[in-house]
Amino acid sequence: MLSNTDKLPEDEEPNRSSWTATLVLTVCSAAIGGTFQYGYNISIINAPTSYIQTFINDTYMERWGVGLDTPQVIGLTEILGGKNLWPFLLASNAIPAVIQVLTLPWFPESPRYLLIDKGDRQSCERALSRLRGGDVPIAEMQEMMQEKEQLRSSAVKSNSTAKTPWALLKDPHLQTQLRTVMAASSAMMLCGNDSIYFYAYYIFLAAGISPQHIQYATIGTGASEFLSSILSNYLIERAGRRYLLIGGYSLMSCWGIVFTIALVLQGQGVAGMAYLSMACVFAYILSFGLGPAGVTGILPAEIFDQAARPAAYMIAGSFMWVSLFLVGMVFPFIISYFGNFCLLPFVIVCVAAAAFLGWTLTETKGKTLTEITLEFDKKNAVGGENRPVGSPSLNQYHPGKTCSFTSLTDEEDPVEKSRK
């Protein structure tokens, strides 16, 4: 347990890089049912593409008597990608879900949730101790106590702790943060990366790759994504979130232009352009994984407090999936009308995303929520004096130091005591 005698030295920076086996396994268990499932489903759909289309077209023809254009059936050599086994390939996505269900109960709950939402300091300290592998990090605990006090003071005025999506949309103090998350979530799906995944078979075919070798090119896209995820983990705490997002979208814009030029030259009979096109696909996916894929998902957690995070994630998720649906519906028509220039709309999205996020997003690397909020307040043209009555001034928060309202003793929280 922490006591009021545990003080953090004035010049000591909060330690944010303590990784333990429990923390790593918890992250893996949570990710295997989320981002892993998403990427897994995108990847497995490529191998049996032709068989799925044949199945859908044959079913449609049997029911309605109308035939649709069916591409040539390709004999793929993947273990579950053959004509008879592709249903099992699609069903295999149940395995990560089962793993997550079986493993998550063994890991601790989120310390921030336990302290701020549940008001259970002891459980929070136990969870922190397990995740950090030893004593409770004093600086991390102090930061959460400061956030809890800020939210508690704000709740005195509003009689509510959690924001609804509608309340978040109307909050003038969070408009820049909200626009940033909405833009980042939409751009992540509108940038064309998922279109390249979903239509990788056709892109490689149009690029001149023989049907027999498309399966190996598809494996290459997965390898690019895996490599980028490793590099992103290395760079995110060094280059910063803002630069990874801007750099990722900028690189994607460049590769999209090069890819378009390669397709045009290939149509004119220039030798070697098919391989350049394939290289551009790999580079496009690699750039996406380095920036947008690794940063977009964590933005709501870094720029919103505990009361606004659930609503922020709801809004971000809504924009993300609506954007993905639109791309899935529109991309075939883009190919029909634009032909070799089909990636130019996505290039425009990437350029706009890089410019907009460069203008609105403040760097969050190595900063506490208080520091991030102060910088966003400048963009929102509001200050601590304009915050709702009952909210403590942000200027009284000093990261890494104990405030008068965050002494880390075993004394019961006054608010929790009053509830009893």
Decide yes or no: CATH 3.40.50.1110 for domain 163-389. no
Residue that has been written with the tokens 């044949």 in this structure: 54
Query: Mean of the pLDDT values across residues 278-299?
Result: 88
Residue 195 is predicted with a pLDDT of 77
Of the candidates 243, 222, 232, which has an alpha carbon nearest to the alpha carbon of residue 363? 243
The secondary element (H helix, E strand) that includes residue 41 is helix 35-44
d(CA 233, CA 295): 10
Are the C-beta atoms of residues 360 and 346 closer than 8 Å to each other?
no
Max mean pLDDT among 11-15, 38-42, 59-63, 76-80 falls in 38-42
Are the C-beta atoms of residues 209 and 342 closer than 8 Å to each other?
no
Higher-confidence residue of 112 and 419: namely 112
Are the C-beta atoms of residues 241 and 365 closer than 8 Å to each other?
yes
Residue that has been written with the tokens 């990560």 in this structure: 96
Residue 252 is predicted with a pLDDT of 94
Residue 358 is predicted with a pLDDT of 93
d(CA 76, CA 30): 33
Of the candidates 188, 210, 191, which has an alpha carbon nearest to the alpha carbon of residue 201? 210
Quote the DSSP letter at residue 19: -
The H helix count followed by the E strand count for the chain is 21, 0
Are the C-beta atoms of residues 156 and 390 closer than 8 Å to each other?
yes
What three-state secondary structure class fits 269?
Answer: coil
Residue 357 is predicted with a pLDDT of 94
Max mean pLDDT among 43-52, 91-100, 347-356, 380-389 falls in 347-356
Distance between start and end Cα atoms, the chain: 23
Query: Mean of the pLDDT values across residues 221-247?
Result: 83
Q: What amino acid is encoded at 89 in this protein? A: L
C-alpha distance from residue 319 to each of 6, 156, 169, 279, 312 (Å): 44, 32, 13, 30, 11
Residue 79 is predicted with a pLDDT of 54
| pLDDT at residue 411 tops 80 | no
The secondary element (H helix, E strand) that includes residue 138 is helix 138-158
d(CA 350, CA 336): 21
Cα radius of gyration rounded to whole Å, the chain: 25
d(CA 21, CA 150): 32
Higher-confidence residue of 105 and 42: namely 105
What three-state secondary structure class fits 286?
Answer: helix
d(CA 130, CA 134): 7
Convert the pLDDT of each residue in 103-122 to its tens digit: 888 888 888 888 888 888 89
Are the C-beta atoms of residues 114 and 375 closer than 8 Å to each other?
no
The rounded mean pLDDT for the chain is 74
Are the C-beta atoms of residues 18 and 132 closer than 8 Å to each other?
yes
Q: What percent of the chain has pLDDT over 70?
A: 67
d(CA 230, CA 223): 11
| pLDDT at residue 98 tops 50 | yes
Residue 148 is predicted with a pLDDT of 84
Max mean pLDDT among 43-57, 70-84, 339-353 falls in 339-353
What are the φ and ψ backbone dihedral angles of 107, each rounded to 5 degrees? -105, 155
Of the candidates 125, 108, 153, which has an alpha carbon nearest to the alpha carbon of residue 307? 153
Of the candidates 138, 169, 203, which has an alpha carbon nearest to the alpha carbon of residue 399? 138
C-alpha distance from residue 225 to each of 124, 193, 207, 230, 285 (Å): 35, 11, 20, 9, 6
Domain locations along the chain? 19-136, 163-389
